[in-house]
Structure 1
Amino acid sequence: MTAETSLLRPVPDDDGAPFWEYAARGELRVQTCADCAEPRFPPRPCCPHCQSFDSGWRPMSGRGRIWSYVIPHPPLLPAYAALASYNAVVVELLDAPRVRLVGNVVATPDAPLNSVDPARLRIGAGVKVAFTPADETGLRLPRWLLERP
């Protein structure tokens, strides 16, 4: 077992299942209210803006900017110790600025979590999404690549 095969994996629920189904196809989509057109994340049954229960899944460009980040010292979970120093980022999507996704900035989609020097990360840096297989079930995780490596 490699260090990355023992990492935490998302557990899709009914509301978030479509997000992971699109991610498995390499698509970044965000739940959007069918009545007021507001995107929302995390996915949920009711729109927090207009209280509508009607929604769809809007495709996103996959581009964003680093809104926040942290380099855990030391890693909190033993499975992550071999990957230190790695980053955890919050990315604000350019096409939906109120939507922020959590992930990691990596050098290539399949690179290890510690593949980007933490000194290269900056608040506001442009990133684009890339999807990488998480396990043999078809689950693909969104990761982020710096737009200007």
Structure 2
Amino acid sequence: MRHAGVLAALREGPRARLLALGREVSFAAGTRIFEEGERADRFWIIRNGTVNLDIHVPGRPAAVVDTLGPERLLGWSWLCPPHQWHLGAEAVGQVRAWEFDAAEVLSLCKDDHELDHELLSYVVEVIGRRLRAARTRLLDLYGPYGSGPQP
């Protein structure tokens, strides 16, 4: 199922106010954008390219649990204490994105209730989707046969 990207989920006014805080960045293929457990103080909206989200699995290589493409929100841990990344992220190929400073966005949201509501509603949806994706992927990789979701 294809979900709307963050920009499509925001109405024009809140979207414009959010984008005014963004700056363009790029990541070369293979760049580790963030690591699980590190301080989460920013987030990105992917413009071009793909990013793998992975989770540390003791005694094994990191497991890719989701792949994000254009218009997707990269990073939600900036919103939830203790503000540490819950996953790691790596650029699959060249990635271009808008980067946002979490403190600036949160400051804007204090005064802009429309943006606050729309952005937080979207992030909550993302969190649920990513948790389901991580669970499914880990069951596929490490669970007993047949433990994943049934059609």
TM-score by length of 1: 0.21
Q: Structure with the greater relative contact order (CA < 8 A, sep ≥ 6): 1 or 2?
A: 2
The structure that is strand-richer by fraction is 1
